[in-house]
Amino acid sequence: MDTFKASKLGLSKIQQARKDSGRKRDDSEWLVAASKILCPDSDWAPGGPYAEGCSESTWRRFLTGYSVAIPAFKAFCQVLGFDWREIADRPDADLEDLSDGQYIDWDSCPEVTVFYDRTLELTQMSEWICEENCRLIAILGMGGIGKTTLAIQLAKQLKYRFEIVIWRSLQYAPPPDKFLSNLIKSIPNSLVEKQLLNTLESNIVRLIELCNYHRCLVIIDGLESLFSKNDLAGKYRPGYEDYAKLFYQIGASIHKSCFVITSHEKPREIVKLEGHKRPVRCLKISGLQKRAARQLLQEQGLVEEPEWELLIQRYRGNPLALKIVSDTILELFNGKSSEFLQQNTIFVGQLSEFLDMQFERISELEKKLLYRIATAESPVTISQMREKISPAVSHSQILEVLESLARRSLIEKITEKNSDSAPVMFTLQPVVMKYIVNQFKHIFQ
Ligand SMILES: Nc1ncnc2c1ncn2[C@@H]1O[C@H](COP(=O)(O)OP(=O)(O)OP(=O)(O)O)[C@@H](O)[C@H]1O
Ligand SMILES: [Mg+2]
């Protein structure tokens, strides 16, 4: 028989609710109430017998976090005032494995078969969504860092909290009005008028109305495809500016849904809305933690060695970079990272294709600044940058460019510990540094 058990959080909720009720654990009224839910047409009385699947021992199992047959589990949750979805522990359930009128539109979402760690990120976002009712969350980070994978895992974990879960990719940059009308049509609802209106603004209002009627989780992946080339970060391409209106309204209007977007760059409308006490948040992700990165290298088939630490550090735990470099290590060095590292070079290889896409969008001044940081012997301060670049470039221009590079997750900030007076310095990840020197030396040397 199929069973459910409570998650860790679910169990603490169950125990708290039982205590708050002021009733004893073995009060037979619990079982009478659950029996009424399971079989409403019969009369049930304290002392039993109770409905099928309902007994003192099942109730005790439920209260202590052991698995219980699904109908009884759902009835017990209801008796304590919970929706079973917020209590059950079913992390591996498939997205399509849903019941009770839930609707999932998974569209072209990639399948995630292997997932390591990211516990902190998932806990943080769950809290924002479930406890603090955030309406818009941006997962930000450089290419290959794991944004899409994390967003999928989040949807898997939280799907029971929502009536509707929708996944959309922006990889092929759909025009904003088409994207919006597709989204409106995807939300099943017979009560809110779904006839599309003439203006984008009125359709945004309609979407918000639907999102207030149903609790939806909408994941929108790959926002960077909408941003301009050769410009500062987070600026929409001509013809795509209406996306800013859409995301602004999603973040600013009252509704009960949550939109999670992934992007290399922080969109400007989000800069206006975000705040740790506001319903719009950003989560900038970095590479995998050491343990997860080791698991990934092991899965790739590398021979386990103490040198892994150095490899992980060089590629900053970026899972895509580690996968690509593992492939080279397997091909050329029989899986031995030590021999690869002895070459004493930062290998960019196939990664340059991914970096090309990201660098296509950055402005000339950003490239110039990056080149100066990449060719400096050590991390540089803002004043040193200005000297290196040209005195004709003003201080505020440098700040604007640095801010843009930070929004693209392309620079690393170094602050000396225990020193309030030391100036902030900037550097680049080794692989980005190598790429920039290779690509731009003929232009800026
Ligand atoms: N937590 C993880 N555990 C295992 N593999 C991971 C994890 N995160 C990412 N990966 C792997 O790393 C690769 C890159 O991940 P993903 O596509 O999610 O990155 P991304 O940040 O969305 O990249 P892009 O910016 O190019 O869209 C994928 O092959 C993915 O399977
Ligand atoms: Mg992605």
The string of DSSP letters for 50-95 reads -STT--HHHHHHHHTT--EEHHHHHHHHHHTT--GGGTB--TT--T
Atom of ligand 1 nearest to the CA of 296: 4
Which pLDDT belongs to residue 98? 46
Asked if omega into 267 is within 30° of 0 (cis), the reply is no
Residue type, 365: L
CA distance 21 to 80: 9
Which pLDDT belongs to residue 107? 79
Burial of 9 (0-12, 13-18, 19+ CB in 10 A): middle
Which pLDDT belongs to residue 102? 73
CB 169 within 8 A of CB 221: yes
CATH number, domain 3-89: 1.10.260
Q: Choose among 154, 208, 144, 155: nearest CA to 180.
A: 208
CB 388 within 8 A of CB 380: yes
Measured in Å, how far apart are the chain's first and last C-alpha atoms?
71
Atom of ligand 1 nearest to the CA of 117: 1
Instruction: Please state, in angstroms and as integers, the Cα–Cα distance from residue 111 to each residue in 141, 148, 157, 312, following that order.
Output: 20, 10, 15, 25
For a ligand 1 pocket test, name from 145, 150, 320 the mutation site with the most ligand atoms within 8 angstroms of its C-beta: 320
Which pLDDT belongs to residue 95? 41
Burial of 351 (0-12, 13-18, 19+ CB in 10 A): buried
For a ligand 1 pocket test, name from 149, 224, 409 the mutation site with the most ligand atoms within 8 angstroms of its C-beta: 149
Which pLDDT belongs to residue 216? 95
Ligand 2 mean position, distance from CA 353 (Å): 14
Segments of 89-135 assigned E as strands: 103-105
Which pLDDT belongs to residue 194? 61
Q: Choose among 285, 39, 59: nearest CA to 154.
A: 285
CATH class of 119-284: alpha beta
Ligand 1 mean position, distance from CA 319 (Å): 6
Atom of ligand 1 nearest to the CA of 115: 3
The enclosing H or E element of 22 equals none
Q: Choose among 353, 293, 359, 354: nearest CA to 326.
A: 293
User: 3-state class of 281 per DSSP?
Assistant: strand
CB 76 within 8 A of CB 18: no
Which pLDDT belongs to residue 94? 44
Positive or negative: CA dihedral 115, 120, 121, 127: positive
Atom of ligand 1 nearest to the CA of 224: 25
> Where in the chain are all domains bearing CATH 3.40.50.300?
119-284
Ligand 1: which residues within 6 Å by Cβ?
Answer: 114-118, 141, 143-149, 222, 264, 288, 296, 319-320, 323, 354
CA distance 160 to 148: 20
CB 264 within 8 A of CB 138: no
For atom 8 of ligand 1, which residue has the closest CA?
146
- What DSSP state is assigned to residue 414? E
CB 222 within 8 A of CB 171: yes
Ligand 1 mean position, distance from CA 121 (Å): 14
pTM: predicted TM-score of the whole model, two decimal places: 0.78
Atom of ligand 1 nearest to the CA of 354: 26
CA distance 155 to 186: 17
Q: Which residues of the chain have pLDDT under 70?
A: 1, 90-101, 190-195, 417-420
Which pLDDT belongs to residue 34? 94
> Where in the chain are all domains bearing CATH 1.10.10.10?
362-444
Positive or negative: CA dihedral 312, 313, 317, 319: negative
The phi-psi region of residue 130 (left if phi > 0; otherwise alpha if psi is between -120 and 50; otherwise beta) is alpha
CB 164 within 8 A of CB 192: no
> Where in the chain are all domains bearing CATH 1.10.260?
3-89
CA distance 35 to 214: 30
Neighbours of ion ligand 2 (CB under 5 A): 148
Pick the CATH number of 362-444 from 1.10.10.10, 1.20.120.530, 3.40.718.10, 3.40.50.620: 1.10.10.10
Residue 118 exposure: Cα atoms within 13 Å on the Cβ side: 28
